[in-house]
Amino acid sequence: MMLQTNYGNFLDPVHQSYFSLQDLRDDEVVQDSPLLRLKDNVLDLIVEYVPLKDRLLRLRSVCHRLSDSVKRSVKSVEFLRDELDYCDDAKISFFLSVYGKNVEHINYDLFRSCSLREYTQWSWRQSVISSVTKCPQLKQLDILVCCRHRLRDGDLQVIFKQCQQLEVLRMDASFINGHCFAKAPLSLRKVELECCQTFTKTGFLGMCARLYKLQTLHASLLPCLDEQTIKKIGDMKHLKNLSIAADPEQKMNQFRLAEIRRLSKLTTLCLDGVNNVTDKFLGDLCDLSQSPAARSLENVSFSFCKNIGPNGISKLKNLPKLKSLNLDGVSKRDVSTGLEAIGNVGKLEILLLSQDTYVSPKTIVEFVAKCESLRTLDISNNYRLKDKSFAEQVYNARVFSFGKPLAILTDFKAMWRQLPPYSYDRRVEIVNVNDRYPEEIVESISPNTPQQLARGHLIPDLRRGNRYKIIDFSLDTSGEQLPDPAIFDQQDQENQSPSGSGSGSGPLAELTEKEQEELVRVLMEIQQPFSMQNTEWYNFDQFGYPIVPSFTDFENKVTVGTAGAPGPPKEKGADKILKHTRPSRPKRQAQKERAEQRRSGAVKATKTTVPVGPSFTEDDFPPLV
């Protein structure tokens, strides 16, 4: 009797669950996914939204079509965000040898900062150079936020030689004197240099002469700023964005800035902390009959300029295309009357009055009521504008008008308590830029952050001058020294002061571990994406304040606004200047002849005779009894 089971007869023929190799060859497997029916250019755009690591490890192995799309889509590499920073040089070299031919953008911000391995300045620089040279189609290079090491002029010369199609360069120029730009590719259209303390006048003039087709130029802490350099900048007829950030506490030579008005294509002008900006300069800049730049200017920033007043600011009303105005930190004189003149025109869209700008609350209320095109108003960190009655008046001035929706940036929750709860269809959105007390809930405050505002509310070019404060001082540009490996277990390497001591005398030593982690997070958030067009972002400090920290002991060291961040800290022994002088020609010739005579034996060294000492006999030492 045949054994029966619940699974049937065990002698029944078993159906084959596999196919022979010949059957697989004969049958054609066709994938009919709707995704794969798209054109290559559309499919590449969709694949670019997938994180780079997932693209390479998962998406590439799906099919040949997606594999080819992944290869074409690798156009931007950000080592920190793409989690490639932990890879050694061999893996990075292999990765770029396969995908580097299509890479157009590389971002080295905080490169080699999160790894527990120690990298000397030589190995760090060689890693950057070797990886950049494997991307012949490179168009944008970002080395802006560096934790320890920075490139030199010789390194840039190698990069310029290999990357002839480079268009955008954003870097920390703490150790650059500028002579490398004599061989820079002529394709460069955008150059942003932070912390240019070592830049020479000859190097800057040579850069402006060679890159005469530049469209964007930004330089902070430039020591060679004088009338000749300003005149050279005025000769760059293709310039559209000009940003110069200086230390307002630094005494500058008196020179004129009137040559800037010759730039007929200039749309964005930022002169942050430049003490030579006066009412007379603003009058010359806004004179339509003599200033070609007045017809094209749209965005203007004069933050922390001490020598401007209401008369000069009122001249800005003559600019026919003015849309954005940044007056952060203009606290020496009352600029209310100047803003009233601009408000009567009614064309301004963005107004930034942070960092205790000297303006009356009544002026702001009238400005919001008259200027219906205003979309963004920043009154954060301004003690003059922290009154509850002022908050109600500003709110009512726009809610009951036909103007555009207004976003108000503030850091003081208490003044907005009496307003109605927030709703998405409301014409006024109050955005808190500093949530120091998250447990305190104010219903009128918007749940959105400044980064979530609609495009067009924030223009990063207006506050580019504040960026070097975080880059140079908060991370401490101490050069080649490394932190003590013994403290790696307590804190990450990127949060350490690069002074090399466990206690640390730098600014980061005064922060707690949580505050240091917040600083690194903020630096990652302000990292701009590859597309530099229509990009909106907002700078925060390590405590969440907008652009500039408040007045605490640590924040006073960080400096306020565009005030001068210090240069790279001096290393041990840097105070002693060793001057090596070369001897005169006759003396060098005489030294050379004496050396040749000693080698040939013509001159024998005279031996000094040693005087013979006294002689002793056994009689002088009788035996002891």
Which pLDDT tens digit goes with each residue over 448-459? 877 777 777 777
In this prediction, residues 385-393 reach a mean pLDDT of 89
Mean pLDDT over residues 95-111, rounded? 91
Q: d(Cα 603, Cα 87) in Å, to the nearest integer?
A: 62
Task: Determine the pLDDT at residue 418.
Answer: 83
pLDDT of residue 457: 77
**Region for residue 435 given its phi and psi (left: phi exceeds 0; alpha: psi -120 to 50; beta: otherwise):** beta
- Spatial CB neighbours of 266, under 8 Å, sequence gap ≥ 6: 239, 240, 241, 242, 260, 293, 296, 297
Which comes out higher in pLDDT, residue 481 or 62? Answer: 62
pLDDT of residue 607: 55
**Which domain covers residue 335, as residue numbers?**
311-455
* Residue 399 near residue 428, CB atoms below 8 Å: yes
Radius of gyration of the chain (CA): 33
Percent over 90 (pLDDT), the chain: 41
d(CA 548, CA 551): 9
- pTM value is 0.71
Helix (H, G, I), strand (E, B) or coil at 172: strand
CB atoms within 10 A of CB 555: 17
| H-only helix segments in 74-189 | 89-99, 121-132, 153-162
Question: Quick one: DSSP state of residue 411?
Answer: S
Asked whether residue 9 is assigned to any structural domain, the reply reads no
Are residue 429 and residue 555 in the same domain, yes or no? no
The answer to the question of residue 50 being in a domain is no
Q: Does residue 537 fall inside a structural domain?
A: yes
Confidence of residue 583 (pLDDT cuts 50, 70, 90): confident
- The yes-or-no verdict on residue 552 having pLDDT over 60 is no
- Say what the pLDDT of residue 283 is: 94
Secondary structure element (H or E) that encloses residue 143, with its range: strand 140-143
Same domain? For 389 and 431 the reply is yes
Q: What is the CATH number of the domain that holds 392?
A: 3.80.10
**DSSP for residue 65:** H
Dist CA 119 CA 281 (whole Å): 48
Q: 371: closest CA among 392, 393, 327, 401?
A: 401
Higher pLDDT, 560 or 408: 408
Q: Within 13 Å, how many C-alpha atoms sit on residue 98's CB side?
A: 12
Shared domain for 522 and 557, answered yes or no, is yes
Angle formed by the axes of helices 361-370 and 336-345, nearest 10°:
10
pLDDT recorded at residue 70? 92
Top pLDDT among 605 and 39 is at: 39
pLDDT digits (tens, 9 = 90+) for 114-164: 555 677 888 899 999 999 999 999 999 999 887 778 899 999 999 999 999
For residue 300, what are the β-bridge partners?
269, 325
* 370 inside domain: yes
The answer to the question of residue 185 being in a domain is no
Confidence (pLDDT) at 360: 94
Q: How many domains does the chain have?
A: 2
For residue 407, is pLDDT > 80? yes
Closest of 241, 116, 260, 245 to residue 173, by C-alpha: 245
Task: Please give the mean pLDDT across all residues of the chain.
Answer: 77
pLDDT of residue 84: 86
Do residues 504 and 481 touch, judged by C-beta distance below 8 A?
A: no
511 and 444 share a domain? no
Q: In this predicted model, what pLDDT tens digit does every residue of 321-365 receive, in sequence order?
A: 999 999 998 999 999 999 999 999 989 999 999 889 999 999 999
**What's at 71, amino acid-wise?**
K
Question: Among 532, 549, 569, which residue terminates a domain?
Answer: 569
More confident residue, 102 or 467: 102
Domain shared by 353 and 391, yes or no: yes
Residue 178: pLDDT above 60?
yes
**CB 365 within 8 Å of CB 339:** no
pLDDT of residue 239: 96
Q: Are residues 417 and 467 in the same domain?
A: no
Check residue 472 and give its pLDDT.
45
Give alpha helix (H) positions in 459-563: 467-468, 513-525, 553-558
The residue-averaged pLDDT of 470-484 equals: 39
Strand partners, 194: 172
Region 166-190: mean pLDDT is 94
In a domain, 416, yes or no: yes
Collect all residues with Cβ–Cβ distance below 8 Å to 332 and sequence separation of at least 6.
Answer: 306, 358
Q: Are residues 339 and 396 part of one domain?
A: yes
Q: Do 390 and 330 belong to one domain?
A: yes
What are the tens digits of pLDDT across the range 422-442?
A: 776 778 889 888 766 666 778
The Cα 205–Cα 168 span in angstroms is 19
Average pLDDT over residues 187-194: 94
Average pLDDT over residues 457-468: 72
The first and second tokens of residue 120, run together, are: 């000397």
Q: What is the DSSP letter of 445?
A: B
pLDDT score recorded for residue 603:
57
Grouping H, G, I as helix, E, B as strand and the rest as coil, residue 219 is strand
Q: Residue 342: its pLDDT value, please?
A: 95
Per-residue pLDDT band at 319 (split at 50, 70, 90): very high
For the chain, the straight-line distance linking the first and the last C-alpha, in angstroms and rounded, comes to 129
Q: What does the pLDDT look like over 486-527, one tens digit per residue? A: 332 333 333 333 333 333 333 444 455 565 556 555 555 444
Inform me whether the pLDDT recorded for 277 exceeds 80: yes
Identify whether residues 418 and 465 lie together within a single domain: no
- Whether 384 and 470 share a structural domain: no
Does 111 fall in a domain? no
pLDDT score of 452:
75
Residue 167 CA to residue 138 CA, distance in Å, equals 8
Least confident of 250-259, 300-309, 611-620: 611-620
Residue 337 domain flag: yes
Residues 6+ apart with CB under 8 A from 536: 451, 453, 455, 456, 457, 458, 459, 460
pLDDT band at 29 (very low <50, low <70, confident <90, very high): low
Looking at the DSSP bridge assignments, the partners of residue 171 are 143, 193
- Which of 569, 598, 615 lies at the terminal end of a domain, its last residue? 569
Clarify whether residues 423 and 516 are in a common domain.
Answer: no
- Answer with the one of 552, 569, 586 that is the final residue of a domain: 569
38-97 residue pLDDT tens: 899 999 999 999 999 899 888 888 888 889 999 999 999 998 888 888 888 899 999 999
Same domain, 388 and 376: yes
- Cα 132 from Cα 96, distance rounded (Å): 9
- Top pLDDT among 614 and 361 is at 361
pLDDT of residue 605: 53
497 CB-near residues (< 8 Å, 6+ apart) = 476, 478, 483, 504, 505, 506, 507, 508, 509
